[in-house]
A and B are shown apart, each in its own frame.
Chain A
Amino acid sequence: MRAVSLLLLALVALGPAAHAVEPSERLADPVLEARARAISKELRCLVCQNESIDDSGADLAHDLRVLLRQRIAAGDSDSQAVGYIVTRYGDFVLLKPPVEPATYALWFGPAALLLVAAAGTAIYLRRPRPDDAPLPLDDAERRRLETLLGEGEG
Protein backbone atom coordinates (compact mmCIF):
# COMPACT_ATOMS: atom_id res chain seq x y z
CA MET A 1 0.00 0.00 0.00
CA ARG A 2 2.76 2.35 1.00
CA ALA A 3 4.67 1.52 -2.15
CA VAL A 4 1.59 2.21 -4.27
CA SER A 5 0.96 5.61 -2.70
CA LEU A 6 4.62 6.51 -3.10
CA LEU A 7 4.41 5.54 -6.74
CA LEU A 8 1.26 7.62 -7.22
CA LEU A 9 2.90 10.55 -5.49
CA ALA A 10 5.91 10.22 -7.74
CA LEU A 11 3.66 10.16 -10.81
CA VAL A 12 1.83 13.29 -9.69
CA ALA A 13 5.09 15.04 -8.87
CA LEU A 14 6.65 14.12 -12.17
CA GLY A 15 3.57 14.90 -14.22
CA PRO A 16 3.94 18.65 -14.71
CA ALA A 17 7.60 18.26 -15.64
CA ALA A 18 6.62 16.39 -18.80
CA HIS A 19 7.27 18.34 -21.99
CA ALA A 20 6.19 18.19 -25.56
CA VAL A 21 9.63 16.98 -26.57
CA GLU A 22 9.24 13.43 -27.85
CA PRO A 23 11.88 10.83 -27.05
CA SER A 24 12.53 10.27 -30.75
CA GLU A 25 13.49 13.93 -31.15
CA ARG A 26 16.22 13.87 -28.55
CA LEU A 27 19.87 13.97 -29.46
CA ALA A 28 22.03 11.11 -28.23
CA ASP A 29 24.65 13.49 -26.85
CA PRO A 30 23.30 14.86 -23.52
CA VAL A 31 25.39 18.05 -23.79
CA LEU A 32 24.00 18.92 -27.21
CA GLU A 33 20.51 17.92 -26.09
CA ALA A 34 20.77 20.24 -23.08
CA ARG A 35 21.82 23.10 -25.36
CA ALA A 36 18.93 22.37 -27.71
CA ARG A 37 16.49 22.32 -24.78
CA ALA A 38 17.80 25.64 -23.48
CA ILE A 39 17.45 27.28 -26.90
CA SER A 40 14.04 25.85 -27.63
CA LYS A 41 12.69 27.29 -24.37
CA GLU A 42 13.47 30.75 -25.78
CA LEU A 43 11.78 30.23 -29.15
CA ARG A 44 8.13 30.99 -29.68
CA CYS A 45 5.83 28.48 -31.27
CA LEU A 46 4.30 30.42 -34.16
CA VAL A 47 1.09 28.45 -34.16
CA CYS A 48 0.19 28.88 -30.49
CA GLN A 49 2.18 32.13 -30.09
CA ASN A 50 2.37 32.12 -26.30
CA GLU A 51 4.18 28.85 -25.82
CA SER A 52 7.79 28.03 -26.44
CA ILE A 53 8.49 25.34 -29.00
CA ASP A 54 9.79 23.30 -26.08
CA ASP A 55 6.31 23.25 -24.53
CA SER A 56 4.15 23.17 -27.62
CA GLY A 57 2.58 20.10 -29.11
CA ALA A 58 1.99 21.80 -32.46
CA ASP A 59 3.33 20.17 -35.60
CA LEU A 60 5.42 23.16 -36.57
CA ALA A 61 6.98 23.25 -33.08
CA HIS A 62 7.98 19.63 -33.55
CA ASP A 63 9.56 20.45 -36.93
CA LEU A 64 11.42 23.40 -35.45
CA ARG A 65 12.70 21.31 -32.53
CA VAL A 66 14.01 18.71 -34.98
CA LEU A 67 15.51 21.41 -37.19
CA LEU A 68 17.20 23.05 -34.21
CA ARG A 69 18.72 19.75 -33.14
CA GLN A 70 19.96 19.10 -36.65
CA ARG A 71 21.66 22.48 -36.72
CA ILE A 72 23.27 21.89 -33.34
CA ALA A 73 24.37 18.37 -34.22
CA ALA A 74 25.89 19.82 -37.42
CA GLY A 75 28.09 22.08 -35.28
CA ASP A 76 26.16 25.36 -35.14
CA SER A 77 26.79 27.59 -32.15
CA ASP A 78 23.76 28.61 -30.09
CA SER A 79 23.56 32.01 -31.75
CA GLN A 80 23.97 30.52 -35.24
CA ALA A 81 21.15 28.06 -34.59
CA VAL A 82 18.87 30.80 -33.26
CA GLY A 83 19.88 33.06 -36.16
CA TYR A 84 18.89 30.35 -38.62
CA ILE A 85 15.33 30.40 -37.33
CA VAL A 86 15.19 34.18 -36.82
CA THR A 87 16.11 34.85 -40.48
CA ARG A 88 13.06 32.81 -41.46
CA TYR A 89 10.53 33.89 -38.86
CA GLY A 90 11.84 37.25 -37.64
CA ASP A 91 12.46 38.56 -34.14
CA PHE A 92 8.90 37.61 -33.25
CA VAL A 93 10.07 34.03 -32.80
CA LEU A 94 12.21 35.10 -29.84
CA LEU A 95 10.26 35.00 -26.59
CA LYS A 96 12.73 37.56 -25.22
CA PRO A 97 12.84 40.49 -27.66
CA PRO A 98 16.35 41.76 -28.50
CA VAL A 99 17.52 45.09 -27.07
CA GLU A 100 17.67 47.43 -30.07
CA PRO A 101 16.43 50.97 -30.80
CA ALA A 102 12.97 49.72 -31.82
CA THR A 103 12.53 47.95 -28.46
CA TYR A 104 14.09 50.57 -26.15
CA ALA A 105 10.62 51.74 -25.11
CA LEU A 106 9.74 48.16 -24.22
CA TRP A 107 12.90 47.45 -22.24
CA PHE A 108 13.48 50.81 -20.57
CA GLY A 109 9.95 52.31 -20.63
CA PRO A 110 8.83 50.91 -17.26
CA ALA A 111 12.04 52.01 -15.51
CA ALA A 112 11.76 55.46 -17.12
CA LEU A 113 8.13 55.76 -16.00
CA LEU A 114 9.14 54.78 -12.46
CA LEU A 115 11.88 57.42 -12.46
CA VAL A 116 9.51 60.11 -13.73
CA ALA A 117 6.92 59.14 -11.10
CA ALA A 118 9.57 59.13 -8.34
CA ALA A 119 10.85 62.53 -9.42
CA GLY A 120 7.30 63.91 -9.54
CA THR A 121 6.54 62.54 -6.07
CA ALA A 122 9.79 63.95 -4.67
CA ILE A 123 9.07 67.40 -6.08
CA TYR A 124 5.53 67.29 -4.74
CA LEU A 125 6.59 66.22 -1.25
CA ARG A 126 9.48 68.67 -0.97
CA ARG A 127 7.82 71.81 -2.24
CA PRO A 128 7.25 74.47 0.45
CA ARG A 129 3.69 74.47 1.70
CA PRO A 130 1.79 77.22 3.53
CA ASP A 131 1.54 76.60 7.25
CA ASP A 132 -1.36 74.27 7.83
CA ALA A 133 -1.82 75.07 11.56
CA PRO A 134 -5.23 76.66 12.20
CA LEU A 135 -5.38 80.36 13.04
CA PRO A 136 -5.94 81.07 16.71
CA LEU A 137 -9.50 82.08 17.64
CA ASP A 138 -10.20 85.73 18.11
CA ASP A 139 -12.09 87.05 21.14
CA ALA A 140 -15.54 86.97 19.57
CA GLU A 141 -15.07 83.37 18.46
CA ARG A 142 -13.76 82.30 21.86
CA ARG A 143 -16.78 83.83 23.59
CA ARG A 144 -19.17 82.14 21.19
CA LEU A 145 -17.41 78.82 21.75
CA GLU A 146 -17.67 79.18 25.51
CA THR A 147 -21.36 79.98 25.20
CA LEU A 148 -21.96 76.88 23.09
CA LEU A 149 -19.98 74.62 25.43
CA GLY A 150 -21.73 76.13 28.41
CA GLU A 151 -25.12 75.40 26.82
CA GLY A 152 -24.05 71.76 26.30
CA GLU A 153 -23.25 71.36 29.97
CA GLY A 154 -26.34 73.14 31.13
Chain B
Amino acid sequence: MRRVLFLLPVVLFLVLAGYFALALRPDRDPHELPSAMIDKPAPSFALAGLAGAPGLDRAALAGGVTVVNFFASWCVPCRVEHPLLMGLSAETKVPLYGIAYKDKPEDTARYLAQLGDPYARIGLDQAGRVGIDFGVYGVPETYVIDKDGRIRLRMVGPLTAESVARALRPLIEELNRS
Protein backbone atom coordinates (compact mmCIF):
# COMPACT_ATOMS: atom_id res chain seq x y z
CA MET B 1 0.00 0.00 0.00
CA ARG B 2 2.71 2.38 1.09
CA ARG B 3 4.70 1.51 -2.03
CA VAL B 4 1.73 2.40 -4.29
CA LEU B 5 1.08 5.66 -2.45
CA PHE B 6 4.71 6.57 -2.98
CA LEU B 7 4.07 6.51 -6.76
CA LEU B 8 1.06 8.83 -6.54
CA PRO B 9 2.96 12.08 -7.31
CA VAL B 10 4.47 10.47 -10.39
CA VAL B 11 1.04 9.38 -11.60
CA LEU B 12 -0.36 12.88 -10.98
CA PHE B 13 2.52 14.39 -12.88
CA LEU B 14 1.96 12.07 -15.84
CA VAL B 15 -1.76 12.92 -15.97
CA LEU B 16 -0.97 16.65 -15.92
CA ALA B 17 1.78 16.25 -18.50
CA GLY B 18 -0.71 14.38 -20.69
CA TYR B 19 -3.16 17.27 -20.55
CA PHE B 20 -0.43 19.77 -21.37
CA ALA B 21 0.80 17.66 -24.26
CA LEU B 22 -2.73 17.60 -25.70
CA ALA B 23 -3.38 21.28 -25.15
CA LEU B 24 -0.01 22.46 -26.44
CA ARG B 25 0.33 20.27 -29.50
CA PRO B 26 1.47 22.42 -32.39
CA ASP B 27 -1.48 21.88 -34.75
CA ARG B 28 -4.04 22.96 -32.17
CA ASP B 29 -5.44 26.47 -32.48
CA PRO B 30 -7.04 27.51 -29.19
CA HIS B 31 -8.98 30.23 -31.00
CA GLU B 32 -10.76 27.72 -33.17
CA LEU B 33 -14.20 27.19 -31.73
CA PRO B 34 -16.23 24.03 -31.87
CA SER B 35 -19.26 24.50 -34.07
CA ALA B 36 -22.66 23.98 -32.51
CA MET B 37 -24.18 23.56 -35.96
CA ILE B 38 -22.41 20.36 -37.05
CA ASP B 39 -24.93 17.69 -38.15
CA LYS B 40 -27.79 20.12 -37.74
CA PRO B 41 -29.92 21.22 -40.68
CA ALA B 42 -28.68 24.36 -42.34
CA PRO B 43 -30.77 27.35 -41.26
CA SER B 44 -33.47 28.55 -43.59
CA PHE B 45 -32.74 31.79 -45.39
CA ALA B 46 -33.50 33.66 -48.57
CA LEU B 47 -31.03 36.26 -49.76
CA ALA B 48 -31.14 38.61 -52.70
CA GLY B 49 -28.40 38.35 -55.29
CA LEU B 50 -26.26 40.86 -57.09
CA ALA B 51 -27.98 42.99 -59.70
CA GLY B 52 -29.26 40.79 -62.51
CA ALA B 53 -28.28 37.53 -60.82
CA PRO B 54 -30.42 35.09 -58.86
CA GLY B 55 -30.03 35.14 -55.09
CA LEU B 56 -29.43 32.24 -52.79
CA ASP B 57 -31.89 30.50 -50.53
CA ARG B 58 -32.15 27.38 -48.43
CA ALA B 59 -33.89 25.45 -51.22
CA ALA B 60 -30.76 25.77 -53.37
CA LEU B 61 -28.85 23.73 -50.79
CA ALA B 62 -31.20 20.75 -51.01
CA GLY B 63 -30.85 17.79 -53.33
CA GLY B 64 -27.09 17.44 -53.42
CA VAL B 65 -23.84 18.10 -51.64
CA THR B 66 -22.96 21.79 -51.70
CA VAL B 67 -20.24 24.05 -50.38
CA VAL B 68 -21.17 27.42 -48.91
CA ASN B 69 -18.47 30.04 -48.50
CA PHE B 70 -18.94 33.22 -46.47
CA PHE B 71 -16.82 36.03 -47.83
CA ALA B 72 -16.59 39.80 -48.01
CA SER B 73 -14.75 42.30 -50.12
CA TRP B 74 -13.31 43.89 -46.97
CA CYS B 75 -11.92 40.60 -45.74
CA VAL B 76 -8.21 40.15 -46.38
CA PRO B 77 -7.97 36.37 -45.72
CA CYS B 78 -10.78 35.95 -48.27
CA ARG B 79 -8.40 37.24 -50.91
CA VAL B 80 -5.85 34.69 -49.74
CA GLU B 81 -8.20 31.75 -50.29
CA HIS B 82 -9.80 33.19 -53.40
CA PRO B 83 -7.48 31.55 -55.99
CA LEU B 84 -8.27 28.22 -54.38
CA LEU B 85 -12.01 28.86 -54.62
CA MET B 86 -11.68 29.55 -58.35
CA GLY B 87 -10.81 25.92 -59.00
CA LEU B 88 -12.83 24.36 -56.21
CA SER B 89 -16.04 23.54 -58.08
CA ALA B 90 -14.13 21.88 -60.90
CA GLU B 91 -12.04 19.95 -58.40
CA THR B 92 -14.84 18.75 -56.12
CA LYS B 93 -17.62 18.60 -58.75
CA VAL B 94 -20.14 20.09 -56.35
CA PRO B 95 -21.56 23.62 -56.56
CA LEU B 96 -19.88 26.38 -54.59
CA TYR B 97 -22.27 29.01 -53.27
CA GLY B 98 -21.16 32.33 -51.87
CA ILE B 99 -22.71 34.44 -49.14
CA ALA B 100 -21.37 37.99 -49.07
CA TYR B 101 -21.24 38.77 -45.37
CA LYS B 102 -21.93 42.36 -44.31
CA ASP B 103 -20.74 43.78 -47.57
CA LYS B 104 -22.15 46.45 -49.85
CA PRO B 105 -23.46 44.92 -53.11
CA GLU B 106 -21.35 47.29 -55.23
CA ASP B 107 -18.21 46.34 -53.27
CA THR B 108 -18.99 42.64 -53.68
CA ALA B 109 -19.50 43.15 -57.42
CA ARG B 110 -16.21 45.05 -57.74
CA TYR B 111 -14.34 42.42 -55.72
CA LEU B 112 -15.61 39.63 -57.97
CA ALA B 113 -14.94 41.64 -61.13
CA GLN B 114 -11.34 42.13 -60.04
CA LEU B 115 -10.54 38.62 -58.83
CA GLY B 116 -13.05 36.48 -60.71
CA ASP B 117 -16.31 34.93 -59.59
CA PRO B 118 -15.98 31.33 -58.35
CA TYR B 119 -19.56 31.06 -57.11
CA ALA B 120 -22.47 29.31 -58.83
CA ARG B 121 -24.82 31.61 -56.92
CA ILE B 122 -24.36 34.44 -54.50
CA GLY B 123 -26.58 35.69 -51.70
CA LEU B 124 -26.08 39.09 -50.11
CA ASP B 125 -26.23 38.97 -46.32
CA GLN B 126 -25.88 42.67 -45.66
CA ALA B 127 -27.30 42.51 -42.13
CA GLY B 128 -25.15 39.52 -41.17
CA ARG B 129 -28.20 37.72 -39.83
CA VAL B 130 -27.76 34.60 -41.97
CA GLY B 131 -24.15 34.53 -40.79
CA ILE B 132 -25.35 34.44 -37.19
CA ASP B 133 -27.80 31.65 -38.05
CA PHE B 134 -24.90 29.61 -39.43
CA GLY B 135 -22.77 30.43 -36.38
CA VAL B 136 -20.27 32.51 -38.35
CA TYR B 137 -17.96 34.57 -36.19
CA GLY B 138 -15.52 35.81 -38.79
CA VAL B 139 -15.16 35.54 -42.53
CA PRO B 140 -14.04 33.54 -44.37
CA GLU B 141 -15.88 30.45 -43.24
CA THR B 142 -16.69 27.48 -45.42
CA TYR B 143 -19.44 24.94 -44.84
CA VAL B 144 -20.09 21.58 -46.44
CA ILE B 145 -23.78 20.70 -46.59
CA ASP B 146 -24.95 17.18 -47.38
CA LYS B 147 -27.80 15.98 -49.57
CA ASP B 148 -30.27 16.25 -46.71
CA GLY B 149 -29.32 19.86 -46.07
CA ARG B 150 -27.36 19.18 -42.91
CA ILE B 151 -24.15 21.01 -42.09
CA ARG B 152 -21.35 18.44 -42.03
CA LEU B 153 -18.19 20.49 -41.90
CA ARG B 154 -17.24 24.00 -41.00
CA MET B 155 -13.84 25.46 -41.78
CA VAL B 156 -12.90 28.73 -40.16
CA GLY B 157 -10.39 31.00 -41.82
CA PRO B 158 -8.94 30.80 -45.31
CA LEU B 159 -8.88 27.44 -47.02
CA THR B 160 -5.47 26.13 -47.93
CA ALA B 161 -4.52 23.55 -50.53
CA GLU B 162 -3.62 21.33 -47.60
CA SER B 163 -6.91 21.75 -45.71
CA VAL B 164 -8.89 21.17 -48.90
CA ALA B 165 -6.99 17.96 -49.60
CA ARG B 166 -7.12 16.77 -46.00
CA ALA B 167 -10.65 17.65 -44.93
CA LEU B 168 -12.87 19.16 -47.60
CA ARG B 169 -12.36 16.85 -50.57
CA PRO B 170 -12.43 13.52 -48.68
CA LEU B 171 -15.68 14.50 -46.96
CA ILE B 172 -17.32 15.62 -50.21
CA GLU B 173 -16.28 12.36 -51.88
CA GLU B 174 -17.67 10.38 -48.97
CA LEU B 175 -20.93 12.32 -48.97
CA ASN B 176 -21.29 11.87 -52.71
CA ARG B 177 -20.88 8.10 -52.38
CA SER B 178 -23.44 7.65 -49.64
Contact = CB atoms under 8 A, between A and B. Distances in A.
A60 B33 contact: no
A90 B34 contact: yes
Contact of B132 (A67, A86, A91, A92): A67
A67 B131 CA distance: 12
Nearest to B30: A49
**Which residue, of B35, B36, B133, has the highest number of chain A Cβ atoms within 10 A?**
B36
B110 interface: no
A47 B138 contact: yes
Interface on chain B toward A: helix, strand, loop, or mixed SS?
Answer: loop
Contacts of B33: 46, 89-90, 92
A147 interface: no
Interface residues of A, number: 15
A126 B138 CA distance: 58
Contacts of A49: 31
Contact of A88 (B31, B102, B127, B135): B135
A88 B34 contact: no
Contacts of A59: 102, 128
B37 interface: yes
Contacts of A60: 128, 132, 137-138
Contact of B137 (A46, A67, A86, A91): A46
Contacts of A89: 33, 36, 135, 137
Contacts of A86: 36
Interface in A46-88: 46-47, 49, 59-60, 63-64, 67, 86-88
Nearest to A88: B135
Contacts of B137: 46-47, 60, 89
Interface in B18-68: 31, 33-37
A55 B34 CA distance: 23
Interface of B: 31, 33-37, 102, 127-129, 132-135, 137-138
7 contacts: A46-B33, A47-B137, A49-B31, A64-B132, A67-B132, A89-B135, A90-B36
